[in-house]
Amino acid sequence: MKNIVTFALAFACLVTVSRAQMVIKPAVGINFTDFSKDASTGKYESKVGYQIGGSIAFGNKWYIEPGIFYVMKSTKYVNEGSTGEDIDFEVGGIRIPVNIGVKLLGDSSGGFGLRAFGGVSSFILTNVKDFDIDDFKKAQWGLQAGVGLDFSILFIEGAYEWSLTDVSSDLDDVDVGKSRSIFVQAGVRLRL
C-alpha cells in the first residue's frame, strides 16, 4: 500500500510539472558586494562585479526557478589609518540560486509582467586574486529577495543577497565577516 501511495504522489508531481510552463532564462549582469565587518582603521566599499549564466523557471502564477551563474565579486578595503594600504578583494565562483516566486502583475501570455521572488543560494569559490584561496571558505550560503520585470521576451531583475556564512576564517590583516550583494541582470525568456 505504501508503494502505491508513493507512486501516486510521484505521478501527480510529474503530471503537474509537465503541465507547468517552463521558461529558460539566459542572463548577464552586474553585482555590487561588500562585507559586514569594518575594522577600526578602515571600511569596505563595494566595487562592480559581473555574472553570466541562466535559470529555468517552472510554473505559472507561482513558480520555482533554479539557476547557475559564473560570478566575479569585487570589494575594496579602504584603509583610513596612517599606515597600511588599501586591499582589493576579487573572488570568482559558481553561484547557484533557487528561488520561489509569484507573478504580481501580468499573465502567462508574455506581455508585461511584475514578479517578486525569494530563496536560497550557494556560492562555490573557484578563484581568488592576490590572496591564497585556502584563506577563504570554499562554499558560502545565503538568502535573497528580489523583483523582476518582464517585457515580451526580455526581462530585467534585481536581488539583494545576505550571506549566512563568513567569507573567510584565516585572513590575518582584516576580518571580513559575511558578504552582502546586490545583483542586477537582464536577459531573454525562452518559453518551452
Q: What is the full per-residue pLDDT of the chain (192 aa) written as tens digits?
A: 555 555 555 554 454 555 568 999 999 999 998 876 656 667 778 889 999 999 999 998 999 999 999 999 988 878 776 666 777 888 899 999 999 999 999 866 668 899 999 999 999 999 988 777 887 888 999 999 999 999 989 999 999 999 888 877 655 555 667 888 999 999 999 998
Half-sphere exposure (Cβ direction) of 106: Cα atoms closer than 13 Å: 18
Residue type, 178: K
3-state secondary structure of 9: helix
Q: What local confidence, expressed as pLDDT, does residue 89 receive?
A: 82
**Residue 106 within any structural domain of the chain:** yes
Is 4 part of a structural domain of the chain? Answer: no
Whichever domain contains 63, its CATH number is 2.40.160.20
Q: What is the pLDDT of residue 72?
A: 95
Task: For residues 162 and 139, give the distance between their C-alpha atoms in angstroms, rounded to a whole number.
Answer: 14
Count how many residues are written for the chain: 192
Residue 150 inside a domain? The answer is yes
Q: Would you say residue 13 lies in a domain? A: no
Residue 134 DSSP symbol: G
Q: Domain total for the chain?
A: 1
Residue 9: per-residue pLDDT: 53
pLDDT given for residue 78 in this prediction: 80
Q: What is the model's pLDDT at position 131?
A: 79
Q: Looking at the DSSP assignment, which residues form a beta bridge with residue 169?
A: none
Question: How much is the pTM?
Answer: 0.81
Q: Nearest CA to 50 among 80, 22, 27, 18?
A: 27
**Three cell numbers, residue 179:** 558578504
30: enclosing H helix or E strand: strand 22-35
**CB-CB contact of 149 with 184 (8 Å):** no
Residue 3 within a domain: no
131/171 Cα distance (integer angstroms): 9
Look up the domain containing 31 and give its range.
21-191
pLDDT at residue 12 in the model: 47
pLDDT at 53: 98
The stretches of the chain forming alpha helices (DSSP H) are: 2-19
In a domain, 8, yes or no: no
Domain annotation covers residue 6: no
In a domain, 111, yes or no: yes
